[in-house]
Structure 1
Amino acid sequence: MRRTGITYLTLLAAGTLGALWVAPHLEDPASVLAALLPTWAGAYLAWTAYRSERLEAAAVQSPAAVADRLATAVRREWEAEAEVRRLAEPYPLPVGWRDADRDLAEASGPGRLAGRDDELATVFTDRVPTRRLLVLGDPGSGKTLLLVRLLLALLDRRQEGEPVPVLFPLASWDPTALDLRGWMERRLVQDHPELAAPAPEPYGQVTLARMLLERRLVLPVLDGFDELPARAGAMALHRINAALPYGCGMVLSSRPGEYRAALQPRSGVPARLAGLAGIHLEALDGEDVAAYLRRDAGGSDTPAARRWAPVARALGTAAPVGRALTSPLMVSLARTVYNPRPDEGHEVLPNPGDLVWLRTRTAVEHHLLDAFVDAAYRPHPHRPRRWTAAQARPALAFLARHMERGLDGVAEVAWWKLRHAVPAALPRVLAGVLLGMAGWLLEGTVMELSHRFTSGAVPTDWEQRGGLGVVAAGICGGLVCGLAAGLAITLLCVLAAAPDDLPELVFNRLADGGSLALVGMIISGFAFGGRPSLRRPSHWDRRALLTGAAAALCYVAAFGNACGTASALLYGVTAAAVGTDGVLADPARPVARVRWHWTTRGVCRGLLVGTLLGGSIVLEGLLSPVLSGDPDKEYIAPPDPLAALGAGAQVGAVFTVSCLLVHALRAVPVDLGASVDGRALLANDRRTLGTCVLTAAVVGAVVIGIQGWCAVLGGSTRVWGAQATGGHLWMFAVGLIPALLTGLAIGIRQSEWGHYLVARCYLALRPRLPYDLMTFLADAHERGVLRRVGAVHQFRHIELQHRLAGAGTRSEGSGG
């Protein structure tokens, strides 16, 4: 439908431009305009009917069909993750469990749920009639790995239309801020973004993700209850009870101590999950661990396997290494550190016998955690290595500290959340400088081409260019962004100006920068803001008021009179009372493309913005003789009433189009069947910016160009700084400038790629992270340092994250 819409719009625009091209050569050009006006209305109705039919056809999908597609995506995701984690190499590590204590899980019974290895799916489906299971285990006992095996087994047994098991890492949930169902909906949309689409009409005004949750077509596998803050444990249980009452299936994993503490809060009413059966993972058997490590080393008779002899004798005893290697985490670390990979000799590897000489279990665990990064990044004969362990460790330590401190609110590594690791104003300042410079160059270039290739055009006045870039910056990032653009343009204009009028030029450009930054805020506020009505004076944005007052004073200093003060003060009051920085794109997830989002309220707000901002120009023109004291000199607007009305109409038309584009171009996520790899989401997000620019350029140039063409037919001699003698086609070229800048502002505003680019450069210069961060994260995932959960990454285990974060803090402290 998008391709059809682009083709339809292109043909319509081409036909309109062709008609306008021919019109000046006819005896009655106005008849062409009269014939074109009803054409656009009919074209809009035809497109609306086509789009409605296609949407209705797409809406017939049933919840069961959506669940089946989700099951396919979840299976593909976790099968790839299991391969990276080598869960089946050389075979799944034997894990056993017993029934949990009755005070933790009321539906448990003596020996009823005990089992081993791959029996958990059978236990869950055959011995737990409520389909509500609690998995308890000590740190590193393999809870997450067991849940992954359970999830894949349940997917193998699942029939069409049945609930889909989905793993939700609870480390990214804040139970004090979000209810569980709302958080699960956000996670589903983030990891499978097609679920953000609206559900079919019979299921209400909800997303597909919410529809699946409400119809119990998702079986939540909640991993890591113990990773929630201790103070939030009791609240989390209440939230889980409210979202998943008795009758809703679920799986929950936790450490016993943290779960027991949540059941016995110091204050408030304790919450218990009704109908919950529980199992407790047991320590690994020493003989099983010895056999597993030898088999992973190639077999008991290989030289690499014989190196484990001292450790094997200590397994199953009270020795420190024997007690440490009872958890799947430590066994997995040990195999990575001491066992060779395919085509790798054991001669260059450390000797596992060194573990026997460590005196405490904690020392063994810390030794394995510290050696794991070196082992993951050691050279391999058939695998290129871009980063050494010494280069990777500081980056991993920074990511671990970033997650520990909760700068982004969750314990995840996601490229679109690195924006929290840089100063908040930096992306807006850089975006403002970029948009300001782009606006100055675009305006000046188009005016220069008009002067060189058309007859009768005036030379380019480079010292007066760039105002539309400031407006775009205000749309993109509010007042900070707009003022940064204004300062950048002032510097460019100073470099292009003659020295004798430098003070007046500086004051004039600063005044224009402040006023137009407020214009961008007003457009953004009307297009996106949630307050269409006036605020109370006590809630006004004082920064906007101060900016309007400062711009008015700069106009006085530049012109030596009161010209410009009326519009500057009007913009300041309007931006303070109504305008906001708007609603930015949801920082919880990236975007993939944009769609049209027309509403009657949005159109009315766009017309209101155009009337208000165009009216300010008319006001300046009518008051020009009074404000300047010279009725024959033009400052902000022409003093002639008719000319002022024409200038106001042109300004209002451009800002109306900008407001409508900001309102109509909305970000949407990618398809469910697409890869949720971070690099794929980054590429989709980056393409959003190009789509915004292209769409805005086509629509804006046509609409603004037609408006300029009509103004010329009505007798206007000047359209947006371009002489009418430049020809009718130059009206469309001039209209292309605000359209391109508006599209660029919308793209930067709604996509996370720009914020990620700033964060990547900022952290690489510090230095904190590699510049090629996506490749680094993918490489760390392939090496087993990180695990991928949907579109984000987490450390392989919380203990590894804590260890890296602590090591990074110690190294920073010693270095300081």
Structure 2
Amino acid sequence: EAEARARRLADPYPLPVSWRGADADLAEVTAGPAGRDGEIGAVFADRVPGRRLLVPGAPGSGKTLLLVRLLLALIENRTAGDPVPVLFPLASWDPTAVDLRAWMERKLVQDHAELGAAAPGEYGDATLAGMLLERRRVLPVLDGFDELPPEMGGLALHLITEAWPYGCGLVLSSRPAEYRAALRPRTGVPARLTGMAGIHLEPLGADDVADYLLRGAGGHGAPAATRWAPVVAVLGTDAPVARALGSPLMVSLARTVYNPRPGEVEGELPDPAELLRCPARRAVESHLLDAFVDAAYRPRRERPCPWTPGQARHALRFLARHMERGADGAAEVAWWKLGQAVPGALPQVLAGVLLGVLGWLVEGAIMEVIQLFAPQVPSPTRWEERGGLGVVAAGICGGLAGGLAAGMAITLLCVAAVAPDVPAALVLHRLADGGSLALVGVIISGFAFGSRTAVRRPADWDWRLPVTGCAAAICYALCFGNACGTVSALLYGLMAAAVGRDGVGADPACPVARVRWHWSPRGVSRGLLGGLLLGGSILMEGLLADVLSGGDARMYIAPADPVAAGWAALQVGAVFAVACLLVNGLRTVPVDLGVCVEGRALLANDRRTLGTCVLTAAVLGAVVIGTQGWCATVWGSTGVWGGAATEGRHWAYAVGLVPSLLTGLAIGIRQSAWSRYAVARGYLALRAKVPFDLMAFLADAHEHHGVLRRTGAVYQFRHIELQHRLAGPDLRP
């Protein structure tokens, strides 16, 4: 009933669709003589053996309209024990990814959340939806077989036959050409639905079309109805408009475009006579499809719309093209897939800038707070030296691109902090830190992800990584006038090329449900090994400090004293080891799209999961890193990361909060679909592709304008022909 209301099937009354027996090459049994309209329920009950019916028909011939009427008739006449008919639009089914039974179970739970509960114990781990399908308590009404990609037709038909074999009730609609192609695949054994009866939909009669359009305009003699006189005069002839209006889809579009709604004046609407100027049937159909969106978004006094018809058409055209070009072939709009419309490196760069700026601000703010409450700190906060941990977090989240973007952002902030007197050494110093610490983030990703840490052969290296290490080493040498920092930068470049993992990888397949712990002895070992190797480079710098500096008293990377160098290496190694362990251990669990039925709920839950990552990492990291820093100030006589040793050693925990907080944010951004959606929404809104509040636009197009339909958390165009038309002739299948 909801689908019938959304399609305005009873406005002003259901179109009378008629049919004849299907061609013998499509169905094994013809479903009796010709019939029409409400007889479909009786035909299915009395003339369809095995309750298996094929409904082929041309585009817009009323297949879905007839299926909805059949479904309502079956429900009305259903007796106890009969299966429940359920409409399943096939456009969102990917036969290469999931079998038909599992997909139907997911769709049932999407539309009826209570069916996601566990079935009785004797059915094992099945849901109520799975139990109903297993016991054949559902009569599937599969609509839109032709909307599947053409190359998948043969496979889809095989999977339908496998899931719903002979003896099980089934209704399937399709265009004849696509169904014939599936019956005769180019490769493999052809599949065929055994025992299927068939009816073929006929064009609408001229009298039926005239009565329907005139009734929708207020009835014979009404001012709005008289506007149809030139069109009605040619119905039943060979005129292009007459042949086009033989399709129920085109008639319903014509009613929407030219007939007034309550409160509208017919003088404000286009004249139906303009259809007579179209030279061919295809031109009439294109004209009605083009005019439909403008008509659906006509201003309404009772409910103002925040989007003009032009804005809506522009956004819907972009969405249609995005769906036609979708990487997974699914003709649906899902907010978590919108990131596919954004240049690949943009999310990484933006995440890098965000983490870099936050790292600079948080590090500096923590140092200011420590200085305020611990006046024994010997020197003031140097804002031009902050932000290194933000680069590491950006490298974890966005790979080399994200880390370098963070480094550039921090360099600009540091230059602004000392402007107008900006020494060249400061710029070189910050650029060197940016390249070196970006590589650290890439290394941490390599140790944290994957089943094992594999060492690549030089032939498989990403040579951007060692080149970045060399560039950082050169900047260090130019900055200090010696070799300080060059050892660690070169080692980081080689290590990143050998074991690192650059970038986020593939976008999340779906939103996340929650965060879970993913600890394993192998993962812990890899995390400790990563921290040991990264800390070892600091120790090597310290042991070679006198040699590398050429006797210069200024040290940057590590102190020359062996004991102090050891504690500094332990401190840095602990920070990076904790980062490795957090990245490895905090894993997100993808949400079951068959359980959650609303896109806004998925979006809010994904945001909450990102917050959980940040909070968990901040608490655990601050405790571990803070304890190690406290020990360093007690026994090592060295400063905690970013600060000097103080008598108030509890401030080590505040300092430990900085890397853990940034690492948690990097983990959350890396694994959440919401972060990519936020980037995509902003990027597309700035380019005027879609409204900024995209979720509200989609819901409005579904609820108030009838352009989209919602299935679970995704949206589809209510008419696939409308999607193809908006996508453009060059993209039409």
The share of aligned pairs that are identical, in percent, is 68
Shift of 1:733: 1.6
The answer for the alignment partner of 2:701 in structure 1 is 780
User: Is contact 2:91-2:331 (8 Å) kept?
Assistant: no
Distance (Å, rounded) in 2 between the aligned partners of 1:94 and 1:475: 62
Q: In 2 relative to 1, CA 568–273 (structure 1 residues): closer, same or farther, beyond 3 Å?
A: farther
- Which residue of structure 2 lines up, in the alignment, with residue 606 of structure 1? 527
Q: Residue in 2 aligned with 1:93?
A: 15
1:403-414 equivalence runs, <5 A: 403-406=323-326, 409-414=329-334
**Amino acid in the other structure paired with 1:467:** G
Aligned with 1:484 (options 393, 405, 422): 405
* Alpha carbons of structure 1 residues 802 and 703: separation in structure 2 relative to 1, 3 Å: same
For 1:622 and 1:508, the matched residues in 2 are separated by 21
* Alignment check: 8 A CA contact 1:720 1:734 kept: yes
Aligned residue identity for 2:283: A
**SS at 1:723's partner residue?**
coil
Contact 1:695/1:743, CA 8 A, preserved across alignment: yes
User: Is it true that 1:346 corresponds to 2:266 in the alignment?
Assistant: yes
- Partner residue of 1:736? 657
1:803 corresponds, among 703, 725, 731, to 725
Cα contact 1:531–1:578 (8 A) shared by 2: no
- Maintained 8 Å contact 1:193/1:670: no
Task: Name the structure 2 match of 1:23.
Answer: none
What is the identity, as a one-letter code, of the residue corresponding to 2:282?
A: T
State which of 504, 507, 516 in structure 1 corresponds to 2:425.
504
Alpha-carbon distance in 1 for matches of 2:437, 2:598: 40
CA distance in 1, matches of 2:476, 2:120: 56
User: Deviation of residue 686 (structure 1)?
Assistant: 3.1
> Aligned to 2:384, which of 460, 463, 472?
463
- Asked whether the 8 Å contact 2:359–2:387 carries over to 1, the reply is yes
Distance 1:512 1:426 in 2: 22
Q: Is the contact made by 1:165 and 1:221 (CA closer than 8 Å) also made in structure 2? A: yes
Partner of 1:428: 348
- Please, which of 270, 282, 302 is the counterpart of residue 190 of structure 2? 270
Q: 1:364 aligns with which of 269, 284, 303?
A: 284
Q: Is the 8 A contact 1:394 1:808 kept in 2?
A: no
Counterpart amino acid of residue 614 in structure 1:
G
Matched, 1:676 2:594: no
Contact 1:528 / 1:582 at 8 angstroms: preserved in 2? no
Q: What is the match of residue 296 of structure 1?
A: 216
* Structure 2: distance between partners of 1:521 and 1:160: 60
CA RMSD of aligned residues (A): 4.0
Secondary structure (helix, strand or coil) at the match of 2:88 reads strand
Q: Amino acid of the residue matched to residue 433 of structure 1?
A: V
The change in CA–CA distance for 1:794 and 1:514 in structure 2 (over 3 A counts) is same
Secondary structure of 2:199's counterpart equals strand
CA distance in structure 1 between the partners assigned to 2:660 and 2:119 by the alignment: 33
Does 2:497 align with 1:572?
Answer: no
Deviations 1:110-154 (A, max 9, x none): 518x66556656766776666654331101112334445556777
Supply the AA of the counterpart residue of 1:395. A
Paired position in structure 2 for 1:324: 244
Instruction: Give runs of aligned pairs for residues 212-223 of structure 1, distance below 5 A.
Output: 222-223=142-143
Cα contact 2:20–2:202 (8 A) shared by 1? yes
What is the rounded CA distance, in whole Å, between the counterparts of 1:567 and 1:208 in structure 2? 59
Deviates more, 1:303-312 or 1:501-510: 303-312
Q: Are the counterparts in 2 of residues 395 and 769 from structure 1 also a CA contact under 8 Å?
A: yes
Q: C-alpha displacement at 1:444, in angstroms? A: 0.9
Structure 1 110/188 Cα, relative in aligned 2: closer, same or farther at 3 Å? closer
Report the residue type matching 1:797 in the other structure. Answer: H
AA partner of residue 101 (structure 1): D
Corresponding position: 1:794 with 2:713: no
In 1, the alpha carbon distance for the partners of 2:593 and 2:538 equals 49
Name the stretch that deviates more: 500-509 or 414-423: 500-509
Give the SS at the match of 1:515: helix
- CA distance 1:791–1:275, shift in 2 (3 Å): same
* 3-state secondary structure, aligned to 1:398: helix
Name the SS of the counterpart of 1:280 in structure 2.
Answer: strand
Indicate conservation of the 8 Å contact 2:510/2:591, yes or no.
no
| Preserved CA contact (<8 Å) 1:432 1:473 | yes
Normalising by the residue count of structure 1, what TM-score does the alignment of the two structures yield? 0.78
Secondary structure of 1:724's counterpart equals: coil
- Give 1:655-804 correspondences, 5 Å limit: 655-668=576-589, 676-725=597-646, 727-781=648-702, 782-804=704-726
Measured in 1, the distance between the counterparts of 2:136 and 2:651 equals 59
Matching residue of 1:336: 256
Counterpart in 1 of 2:357?
437
Shift of 1:736: 1.6
Are the equivalent residues in 2 in contact too, given 1:197–1:207 (CA < 8 A)? yes
1:438 is displaced (CA, Å) by 0.8
1:555 aligned to 459, 473, 476, which one?
A: 476
2: CA distance, partners of 1:680 / 1:182: 26
**Cα shift readout 1:684-740 (whole Å, capped 9, x = no counterpart):** 333333333233223322333233334334454411122332624422221221122
Map of 1:53-68 to 2, 5 A cutoff?
none
| Contact kept in structure 2, 1:167 and 1:221, CA below 8 Å | yes
Contact 2:564 2:636 in 1 (8 A): no
Q: Aligned in 2, Cα 1:620/1:332: closer, same or farther, shift over 3 Å? A: same
Map of 2:58 onto structure 1 = 138
Residue equivalent to 1:103: 25
Using the alignment, how far apart are the partners of 2:486 and 2:107 within structure 1?
52
Partner of 2:716, secondary structure, is strand
Displacement, 1:374?
2.1
Letter in 1 for 2:212: Y
- The answer to whether the 8 A contact 1:134-1:277 is kept is yes
Determine helix, strand or coil for the equivalent of 1:734: helix
Q: 1:159 to 1:343 in 2, by over 3 A?
A: farther
1:83–1:185 Cα change, 3 Å:
closer
The alpha-carbon deviation at position 803 of structure 1 amounts to 2.4
Report what 1:59 is aligned to. Answer: none
Q: Which letter does structure 1 place at the counterpart of 2:59? A: P
**Amino acid across the alignment from 2:269:** L
Partner SS state of residue 429, structure 1: helix
Q: 640-649 or 311-320, which moves further after superposition?
A: 311-320
Of the three residues 149, 154, 174, the one matched with 1:254 is: 174
Q: How does 1:143-222 map to 2 (within 5 A)?
A: 143-148=63-68, 165=86, 167-170=88-91, 173=94, 178=97, 180=99, 184=103, 222=142
Q: Is it true that 1:641 corresponds to 2:575 in the alignment?
A: no
Q: Alignment length, in residue pairs?
A: 728
Partners of 2:685 and 2:389 in 1: how far apart?
33
Letter in 1 for 2:192: R
Cα 1:371–1:684 shift into 2, 3 Å: same
Distance 1:401 1:723, change over 3 A: same
TM-score of the two chains, using structure 2 as the length reference: 0.87
**Residue 652 to residue 803, structure 1, CA distance change in 2 (3 Å):** same
Cα displacement (A) at 1:277: 4.0
Going from structure 1 to structure 2, the CA distance change for 1:489 and 1:207 (only over 3 Å counts) comes to: farther
Partner residue, 1:225: 145
Instruction: State how far apart, in whole Å, the 2-side matches of 1:634 and 1:182 are.
Output: 67
Look up the match of 2:458: 537
Kept after mapping to 1: 8 A contact 2:217/2:224: yes
Partner deviation per Cα, 1:571-607 (whole Å, 9 max, x = no partner): 2233222221466575443335434444443333322
User: Residues 572, 760 of structure 1: CA spacing in aligned structure 2 closer, same or farther, 3 A cutoff?
Assistant: same
- Give the gaps of 5 or more residues in structure 1: 1-78, 811-816
After the TM superposition, which of the residue ranges 432-441 and 82-91 deviates more from structure 2?
A: 82-91
Change over 3 Å in CA distance of 1:276–1:504 after alignment to 2: farther
Q: Judge conservation of contact 1:432–1:481 (CA < 8 Å) in 2.
A: yes
